[in-house]
Structure 1
Amino acid sequence: MNGDAMTAITATDARKGLFGLIQQVNQDHTAVEVVSKHGNAVIMSKEDYDAITETAYLLRNAANAERLLESIERARRGEFEKHGLLDA
């Protein structure tokens, strides 16, 4: 997902254009906030949702979080290691 501000639409508009909305969030990888008097919700692609929940899971463990953050910092400095893929 990108870092742009989230678009907000009414529940009525979301209902009217649901299939187009599903296509939009999958193509653009942008979440859409659905605003309703019964509470707001967010529509996002399953792929983006899975990525967010996996990241949250990995960051719950302090050791994992430290390793991931160190890896990100090394990558930013251009310190990469090339590895082959493992056969499943």
Structure 2
Amino acid sequence: MINTNITNFRKNLFSMLEQTIKYNEPINISTKEGNAVIISEDDYNGLMETLYLCLIPNMRERIMEGLKTPIDECVPENEVQW
């Protein structure tokens, strides 16, 4: 995470935003009133998707259970027909 103050952020706005977009590097901007964090759109969309999935009853448990399942047990070989 890049940590900067508002003055430095204003001076380097384009390059800092470009780094956030290209490398998904969040920016923490400190001001007199408090801090703000800027993240890339990709990271934002990922967070929103994660929140959505966590709101579905039992989804978190099903995902955790699925992570423990060996890949060869996930889809029987002859079950998928293209």
Aligned to 2:21: 26
SS in 2 for 1:30: coil
Aligned to 1:79: 71
**In 2 relative to 1, CA 35–73 (structure 1 residues): closer, same or farther, beyond 3 Å?**
farther
Q: How does 1:48-63 map to 2 (within 5 A)?
A: 48-63=43-58
| Two-structure CA RMSD over aligned residues (Å) | 2.0
TM, length-normalised to structure 2 = 0.76
Q: Aligned partners of 2:67 and 2:54: how far apart in 1?
A: 13
Write out the 4+ residue segments of structure 1 that deviate beyond 4 Å after TM superposition: none
SS in 2 for 1:66: helix
Between the aligned residues of both structures, percent identity stands at 31
Letter in 1 for 2:30: V
* Number of equivalenced pairs: 75
C-alpha displacement of 1:61: 2.7
C-alpha displacement of 1:73: 3.1
TM, length-normalised to structure 1 = 0.72
Letter in 2 for 1:26: I
Structure 1 gap segments, 5+ residues each: 1-5
Q: How does 1:32-71 map to 2 (within 5 A)?
A: 32-71=27-66
